[in-house]
Chains A and B, each alone.
Chain A
Amino acid sequence: MLAKRIIPCLDVRDGEVVKGVQFRNHEIIGAIEPLAERYAAAGADELVFYDITASSDARVVDKSWVERIARHIDIPFTVAGGISSIDQARELLAMGADKISINSPALRDPDLINTLVEEFGQQCIVIGIDSFYDAETERYLVYQFTGDESKSQRTRWQTAEWLQEVVNRGAGEIVLNCMNQDGVRKGYDIRQLQAMRALCPVPLIASGGAGCIEHFADVFQQAQVDGALAASVFHKNTVVIGELKQALSDSGIAIRPLEPGN
């Protein structure tokens, strides 16, 4: 049976892993490669490296570490951050990234999605969506440039519409980052994820809000997502991947067990 994926996300800024609370006040967690290797050895099913400053500063992700990661780890990984052309995508994929994730550049130029899909195939094009629940209007709204608070802004899209747009353009996977929950560790936004799951025929990854093992069990059982992404709980050892996977497996959720020797 296809296993639910546990995906540590390493937010990268200036070549170091950082983590902020609701996208602000970033603190340095550590160097990229040792963390990547540690998570792979601990049983992570996949890794995401997200250059949180790239889009908002009009820079591309510093790529030298991508090849080093590809050389050393034997699980799939995704690179995100400021990828806005076929050439940038080709370079990252050639260095060994399994998937590339596009967020703000896709909002600026939606044609980028289908162009990348046609060139590299659906399987390696992930679309990240930063979605904010506006309590006043009771709507889920798509934001962009969320890596920098001063440039973060809402777009004209409601989340459900944008999700369907990117799927129609061939996106192979969606990472839905629920901004209200990000970094506050009170659980994934089950209600929103349930709503988007019903609209999403491609794999859907939950992001934002994980604080304890039960939150992972809840999001898999209640929102039927394919994977759960988290950062701070793994960086701070609040949740240990081995224990998380054992607990999920005990709850009857399909999980890839740790490989012997890990």
Chain B
Amino acid sequence: MSVVIVDTSCANLSSVKFAIERLGVNPVISADASVIAAAERVILPGVGTAKAAMRNLQQLDLVTTLRQLQQPVLGICLGMQLLTESSEEGNVDCLGVIPTRTIAMQTTDPQQQGQPLLYPLPHMGWNTIEVNPANPLLKNLRDPAYCYFVHSFAVATDRYTLATTRYGNTSFASMIGHGNFFGAQFHPERSGKVGATILKNFMELTDADTRA
């Protein structure tokens, strides 16, 4: 299995690499369009801001390559948000391969200004994802499936949602998918056995799973 982790020159590249290695696969970290296009699996990691990450992808001349990928692609955290059409974080156009949008999380009640904030942001820590058996990335998982999150922006739930997570008085899409493109808002590389199972499922996706 050839796995490429797109070198977005962001911080969590080695964590993702180590997590794939723990599954017995040696991934390649690359920003080379031909290497990325030829891989059987592509992982798009990301931490930082959407605006900076998109600027990096443009400077690396990878936007078109990433948009045209046919093999299974997994965006992680900011990498997932980059798969959507746009992000409110810097009001930036993203890759647009999953027709949904990334918006700022809202955990305060606008009617309750001045009240102590019950739900801090960033949304940081272990939260549950609703296990939907129809999601091929969630095979072999049982409730409650806890994953590690760190983010202040999120994708609203819609028809591209593969898993939902609740925080405070809102729910958001903790996993999304469209065709061969998949995204996880949490960090599977830091989500214990649950995360390892999700990464393993990603490696084992079949053609039928990516046609949906």
Contacts and interface: CB of A to CB of B under 8 A. Distances in A.
Interface of A: 1-5, 45-46, 67, 70-72, 74-76, 90, 93-96, 98, 120-124, 172-173, 197-198, 200-204, 224, 226-227, 256-257, 259-261
Return the 5 tightest CB-CB contacts between A and B, nearest first: A93-B11, A123-B150, A121-B48, A256-B146, A256-B126
A256 to B, nearest CB: 4
Q: By CB atoms of chain A within 10 A, which of B118, B126, B195 has the most?
A: B126
B190 A98 contact: yes
Q: By CB atoms of chain B within 10 A, which of A4, A5, A70, A74 has the most?
A: A74
Given A200-B120, A201-B121, 13 more contacts: A1-B166, A2-B119, A2-B149, A3-B125, A3-B146, A5-B125, A45-B125, A45-B126, A74-B195, A90-B11, A94-B14, A120-B48, A122-B122
Contacts of A226: 120, 124-125
Interface string B140-181: 000010101111100000000000001100000000000000
B105 to A, nearest CB: 12
Contact of A76 (B166, B187, B193): B187
A2 B126 contact: yes
A74 B196 contact: yes
Nearest to A69: B18
Contact of B125 (A71, A122, A203): A203
Q: By CB atoms of chain A within 10 A, which of B117, B149, B150 has the most?
A: B150
B128 A202 contact: no
B126 to A, nearest CB: 4
Contacts of A1: 127-128, 166
26 contacts: A3-B126, A3-B127, A67-B14, A70-B15, A74-B192, A75-B192, A93-B11, A93-B12, A95-B14, A96-B15, A98-B150, A120-B11, A121-B49, A122-B122, A123-B47, A123-B150, A124-B47, A173-B122, A197-B116, A198-B116, A200-B120, A201-B120, A202-B122, A203-B120, A224-B118, A259-B194
Nearest to A126: B124
B67 interface: no
Nearest to A121: B48
A151 B107 CA distance: 42
Nearest to A257: B144
A201 B45 CA distance: 27
Interface size class of chain B, counting residues whose CB lies under 8 Å from the partner chain: 35 or more
Q: Is the interface of B mostly helix, strand, loop or mixed?
A: mixed
A201 B125 contact: no
B166 A203 contact: no
Contacts of B48: 120-121
Nearest to A5: B125
Nearest to B188: A74
B86 to A, nearest CB: 19
Interface string B80-97: 000000000000000000
Contacts of A224: 118
Interface of B: 11-15, 18-19, 21-22, 47-49, 116-128, 144, 146, 148-152, 166-167, 187, 189-196
A74 B191 contact: yes
A90 B126 CA distance: 25
A74 B189 contact: yes
Contacts of A94: 11, 13-14
Contacts of A46: 125
A221 B5 CA distance: 42
Contacts of A71: 18, 21
Contacts of B146: 3, 256-257
Contacts of B149: 2
B193 to A, nearest CB: 5
A226 to B, nearest CB: 6
Nearest to B144: A257
A257 B146 CA distance: 9
A71 B48 CA distance: 22
A260 B148 CA distance: 17
Contacts of A120: 11, 47-48
